[in-house]
Amino acid sequence: MASVFEYAPAPESRAIVDIAPSYGLFIDGEFADAADGKVFKTVSPSSEEVLSEVARAGSEDVDRAVKAARRAFEKWSALPGGERAKYLFRIARIIQERSRELAVLETLDNGKPIRETRDADLPLVAAHFFYYAGWADKLEHAGLGPNPRPLGVAGQVIPWNFPLLMLAWKIAPALAAGNTVVLKPAETTPLSALFFADICRQAGLPRGVVNILPGYGDAGAALVEHPGIDKVAFTGSTAVGKAIARQVAGTGKKVTLELGGKGANIVFDDAPLDQAVEGIIGGIFFNQGQVCCAGSRLLVQESIQDELLDSLKRRLSTLRLGDPLDKNTDIGAINSEEQLARITSLVEKGEAEGAERWSPACALPSSGYWFAPTLFTNVTQAHTIARDEIFGPVLSVLTFRTPDEAVAKANNSQYGLSAGIWTEKGSRILAVANRLRAGVVWANTFNKFDPTSPFGGYKESGYGREGGRHGLEAYLAPTNPEGAR
């Protein structure tokens, strides 16, 4: 994109990561071919280069993995918490030692900029394992009774936008609580989960405690439906989350669903505008807007709309789009051709419905999947782009006059995952936050995460919490004083 500065390329070395030509499923501590021999290719979104060929799990493979996890559960759950903690600490340290390698791998397979995988994803991945390692011998203090017990085998399905981080969010608390895991990564980003399988072996984790099954939606459905699964954890689209809720109804399986969002980022007239602009940029253009809690609806007080939009457009014009492995890059590639088509379709619908589209001058690479940062003005609550989750670098701008109107517009959504408030008044932050139907509310910042903090939503954004002490509840069953379940 146009900039007053000329940046020399600063590419991260691809040589740091060694991607094998093919990978198998990780079941019972070993890599193996799929039972039916099926494979699929994983592609780098920035170049459309085939990175590797990966075994594609089917229902027979799911059954093998669940049985391996069930066998491992007896010994794993019987270990003292302090012993389980040793494995989690070891995994966390290995992740730190291999963080550069894993950051490059994630950038290649996902398309996000290296500075995001290096500076955000990987530190948080290690932090989650460190954090839950600390909980493993303190479960009786989690507020779930004197002797909470693990549920059994957890079936976990994760998305492609934060492949390794979503894995950590799910596997770390499950293992700390004494459960075993069968995890299905997204079909477009299987590699970091398979590298994590190697880390499990490097850490000496007992066989069958973690099983990784790359595959498509049919593998995820087979995992959710398997009678040997005691707990289902899913992060992804609301449509799939609803299907999972229907599948598990009446089965007795415990479920956590972290689904879509249409986060409102509310800027009041007394907000520090330069700081707010940076927060808006981070809220919607981080990871190309492919974030469930993205601040995709900007609600700006009417009196400062022009000033804020002028500053926002100037700042957008300085962002750099291009090679995700370049440390200067701000905007990377869209994860897949399918996702690019969805973003394009919704943006065209926004224009057709009368919203005004703007993007900075931007040259898109000739290969790969790219979409320029985009904002829409003259948006109303009736517009599709103000209601539907686009999951791309697209910001819809609406205005308000009073705090009551801001709250009403923010809550006028089928989603309820995140929100942001920008103002210098602490009293206003507390008053407005208390009225927002959002699982996470940031004040004078956005998209900040910590393993000690719970995350989750309301309404069609799902239910249950991940992270913090609350994240343990999804993997533990309370006991009464006599020890009965």
Query: 224-229, long-range: CB within 8 Å, 24+ apart, which pairs?
Result: 224/155, 224/157, 224/248, 226/62, 226/63, 226/66, 226/155, 227/251, 228/63, 228/66, 228/67, 228/69, 228/70, 228/153, 229/66, 229/153, 229/154, 229/155, 229/182, 229/253
CA 298 remoteness from chain centre? 21
Q: Which of 36, 89, 70 is nearest to 154 (CA)?
A: 70
The residues pairing with 153 across neighbouring beta strands, listed in sequence order, are 180
**Beta-carbon neighbour count of residue 9 at 10 Å?**
11
Catalytic residue (choose from 116, 187, 258, 473):
258
Determine contact, residues 157/224, Cβ cutoff 8 Å: yes
Catalytic residue (choose from 116, 187, 200, 292):
292
**DSSP H or E stretch at residue 398:** strand 394-400
Backbone angles phi, psi at 64, to 5 degrees: -60, -45
Longest Cα–Cα distance in the chain: 70
Q: Which of 198, 144, 142 is nearest to 23 (CA)?
A: 198
Quote the CA–CA distance of 357 and 352 in Å, as a whole number: 10
Quote the CA–CA distance of 266 and 98 in Å, as a whole number: 39
Tokens standing for 382?
């009736």
Does the annotation mark 258 as catalytic? yes
Q: Which of 321, 331, 228 is nearest to 288 (CA)?
A: 331
Quote the CA–CA distance of 212 and 250 in Å, as a whole number: 27
Instruction: Give the three-state DSSP class for 252.
Output: coil
> What residues act catalytically?
258, 292
